[in-house]
Chain A
Amino acid sequence: MKIKNISILPGYNKKKEKESKKKIEILEGQKIGIVGHTGSGKSQLLYDIEKLAYGETKTKRKIFINGEKPNKNLKTDPTIKIIGYLTQHMNFMTDTTVYDFLKTHIITRGKHNTKEETEKIIKKVIIEANKITGEKIKKETNLLILSGGQSRALMVADLAYISESPIILIDEIENAGIKIKQALNLLIQKGKIIFLVTHDPLLALDTDKRFVMKNGGISKVIHTSIKEKGIAHYLSWINDYILDIREEIREGKKINKLKLICTPTGEEK
Chain B
Amino acid sequence: MKRNFKYLLAGLVFGIILVKSEVISWFRIQEMFRLQAFHMYGIICSAIVVGLIAILIIKRFRLKTFSGEDIIIPTKKFHWGNVYGGLIFGLGWALTGACPGPLFAQIGSGFLVVTVTLLSAIAGTWVYGAVRDGLPH
Chain A complexes with chain B: no
A-side residues, CB < 8 A to B, are none
